[in-house]
Amino acid sequence: MTEPVRRPWPCLLVVLFAAFMDMMDLGIVSVAAPSIQRDLHSDYASAQWFMASYALAFAVLLIPGGRLGDIYGRKRVFMTAVAGFTVVSVICALAPTAGVLIGARFVQGGFGALMVPQVLAVLQVLFPATRRGMALAAYGTVMNLAQLGGPILGGIMATDNLLGLGWRAIFLVNVPIGALVLAGTAILLPESRSDRPLRLDVVGIVLVALLAGLVSYPLQQGRGAGWPPWMLAALAAALPAGLFFAWHQHRRGPAAALVPVALFRRRAFVAGIVLLLLVYTALLAQQMVVIWHTQIGLGWSPLRTGAASAGWVLGLFLLGGFAVALAPRLGRALLISGCLLVAAAIGVLSEVISHDALGFWQLFGCMTALGCGLGLVVPILVDLVLAGVPKRDAGGGSGVANAVIYFASAVGIGLSGLIFFGQVAAGGDAHARAQEYRVRDAGAGADDALRACVHDRAGAADPYRIPASCRTPQAADPVVASAAAEALRQDFADSAAGSLWYPAGAFLAAVALTPLLPRGSGADAAGAANPTGARPESDPAGPRVDVPLS
C-alpha cells in the first residue's frame, strides 16, 4: 500500500542525499586509511578492516535490507537506517582505538545496507515509468559526484587537519547530512510497503554471514598471525558452508528463499558472478596498492593521493554514458575492450612504479586511462550479467550481483594486503644488501645495522612504529638511516609494481569469461517493463542497487 505522492522531486532529493552519504563514505575512508592507522597506532590488518568491515556488513545485509523495507515499511526502515548511520558515524569519529573503529564501521555498513535498497525502491514508488528516466539520471549523477568527491574530500580533511580534527572529520561530515535527511524524510516521504505477506530468512542471513566470515577473516588476518592451522581450516570450511547454504535455500523454495537457487543453474549467470568477483577484487586491490605505496612508501599526503587517484572517476565519467547507450547491441564487445584497457593501464602503472618514475601526473594519467576502461565496464556489467535472467528472478539476481560486488571488495582488500605486504617483508633483505655500498665508510658493523633495521621495518605490522634495531647508535647514523630509508622506498616500489600484476591478470581473466555472457544487455527489453531495474512488488528477493565501489 502506498500513499499518494504529490511532490515527488523534493522526496527524491532527500533520498539522494542519503545515497550520496553512503557512496562518499566508501571513498573518503580508503584514502585516509594510512593516516588513521598512524594516529591509532594500528597494524596493516587493522587498517584493511577499516574498509573491509563496512563492505562485508553491507554485502551480508544488502538483500535482507530490501526485504525489511517491504515488510515493515520503506520509510520506517529508511529513517532507522539513516539515524543509525549518523549516530555510528559519530562513534567512528570518537573511536579511541582501532578495534572500536572497526566495530563501528561494521555496524555502519549494516545500516548502509538497510538504507541504500530503500532509495531505488522509493524512487520506483515516487515516479511512474514514464517519468522515471530523469529520476534515474539524477541518481546516477549523484553517485558520480560522490565517487569523485569522496577521495578528494577525504584527502583534504586528513591532510589539512580541519578544526584540529584530522581524519575524524571525515566521519563527522555525515552528521549534518544525516540530520537533514532525517528531517526531510519525516516531513516529505510517504510510507510504502509490499501488498502481500513476506517472510525474512533469518537462517539464510546467518549462513551468509558465516560464509563471508570464513573467507574474509583469514584473508585479512592470516599473514599477520602466521597462518595458524585454524585459519586454514576456516578457509577450507567455506566450501561446505556454501553448499549447506545452497541446500537451505533450495529447501525453502522460490517464494521464501533469500537467493533464487535456480539462477545458479544458468551458465551465463554463474560466469557473470565469477566475473564480478574478478573485477571488483581487482579494482579494490589496485586501489589499495596505490594508496599504500604513495602514502607509506613515497610519503605523499592523503590529499595528493586522492587528487591523483580521482583520474579514474574522470575516465569513468567520460565513457560511461557511451557504454550505456551501446550496451544493448555491443555490451560484450564493450566489456572486453574495457577490461583490456584496464589491464593495460595497470600494466603501464606497474612499469612506471618499477622505474621509480611515479609522480602526480604520471599517476593521474594512468588512473584516467584505467577509468576510461572502467567506463566501458562498470555501468553495464550488472545489466550484462542479468541479461539472460527471467523477469521473475530479476530482483533476486540483481540483489545477488550487488551483494557479490561488496563481498568482492572486502576480499580484494584482504588479497591486496596479503600480496603486497608479503612482498615487502620478503624483499627487505635484498634491498638492504643493495644499499650496503653506501655505508662502507660509516664504521664497523654499519652494514649489519642497516640489514637489521631494514629487515625489521619491512616485516613490521605497523609501518609507523620504529623498531629497536633502527634506534641503535649505528642505525641512527645519518648515512645508515638514509640508506635504510632508500632501501625501504625501493622495497615498497618493487612490491607495488609486482602486486599490481594481480589486478591486471584478474581483468585479463575476466576477458576470458566474457564470451559466456549474453552478447548485449537486456536494457531495451527489460527497461520497458521495469525501467528502474528494481524488483517488482511481487518479487521478494530485494531491490537492485547497482552501486560501483570507489
Q: Residue 308's domain is classified under what CATH number?
A: 1.20.1250.20
Q: What pLDDT does residue 6 have?
A: 60
Q: What pLDDT does residue 322 have?
A: 83
**480 and 512 fall within a common domain:** no
**485 and 522 fall within a common domain:** no
Backbone angles phi, psi at 148, to 5 degrees: -70, -40
**313 and 210 fall within a common domain:** no
Q: What pLDDT does residue 197 have?
A: 61
Q: What pLDDT does residue 148 have?
A: 66
Provide the b/e sequence for 72-105 (b: ≥16 CB within 10 Å): bbbbbbbbbbbbbbbbbbbbbbebeebeebbbbb
The answer as to whether 318 is a domain residue is yes
State the sign of the Cα–Cα–Cα–Cα dihedral 279, 284, 285, 290.
Answer: positive
**65 and 81 fall within a common domain:** yes
The answer as to whether 119 is a domain residue is yes
How many C-beta atoms surround the C-beta of residue 391 within 10 A? 14
**346 and 435 fall within a common domain:** no
Cβ neighbours for 422, distance < 8 A, ≥ 6 positions apart? 223
**115 and 221 fall within a common domain:** no
Q: What pLDDT does residue 35 have?
A: 86
Ramachandran bin of 445, using left for φ above 0, alpha for ψ from -120 to 50, beta for the remaining angles: left
The answer as to whether 178 is a domain residue is yes
Final residue of a structural domain among 451, 479, 494: 494
Final residue of a structural domain among 136, 168, 189: 189
Structural domain count of the chain: 4
Q: What pLDDT does residue 531 have?
A: 33
**505 and 490 fall within a common domain:** no
Residue indicated by cell numbers 590529499: 303
Residue indicated by cell numbers 537486456: 522
The 3-state DSSP composition of the chain as helix, strand, coil percent (nearest 5) reads 80, 0, 20
**245 and 305 fall within a common domain:** no
Q: What pLDDT does residue 543 have?
A: 40
The answer as to whether 252 is a domain residue is yes
**128 and 277 fall within a common domain:** no
The answer as to whether 195 is a domain residue is no
Bridge partners of 458? Answer: none
Q: What pLDDT does residue 110 have?
A: 92
The answer as to whether 197 is a domain residue is no
- Give the integer Cα–Cα distance in Å for 274 and 277: 5
Cβ(463)–Cβ(291) below 8 Å: no
Cβ neighbours for 32, distance < 8 A, ≥ 6 positions apart? 154, 155, 157, 158, 167, 170, 302
**274 and 321 fall within a common domain:** yes
The answer as to whether 196 is a domain residue is no
**537 and 390 fall within a common domain:** yes
* Domain assignment of residue 448, given as a range: 425-494
Digitized pLDDT (tens) for each residue of the chain, 550 residues in all: 444 456 777 777 888 888 888 877 776 788 888 888 888 988 888 888 888 899 899 888 888 887 888 788 888 888 999 999 999 999 999 999 999 999 999 999 999 988 888 887 777 777 776 676 677 677 767 776 776 667 777 777 777 666 677 888 889 888 998 999 899 888 887 777 766 666 778 888 888 889 888 988 888 888 877 888 898 999 899 899 988 988 888 888 766 777 777 788 888 888 888 999 999 999 889 989 999 999 998 989 888 888 898 888 888 888 888 888 888 888 889 999 999 999 999 999 999 999 888 999 999 999 999 999 998 988 888 888 877 777 766 667 777 888 888 888 888 888 988 899 999 999 999 999 999 888 877 677 788 889 999 999 998 888 888 889 998 888 888 898 999 999 999 999 999 999 999 999 999 999 999 998 888 765 443 433 333 333 333 343 344 444 444 4
**414 and 324 fall within a common domain:** yes
The answer as to whether 245 is a domain residue is yes
Q: What pLDDT does residue 90 have?
A: 95
Backbone angles phi, psi at 127, to 5 degrees: -120, 135
Final residue of a structural domain among 458, 473, 494: 494
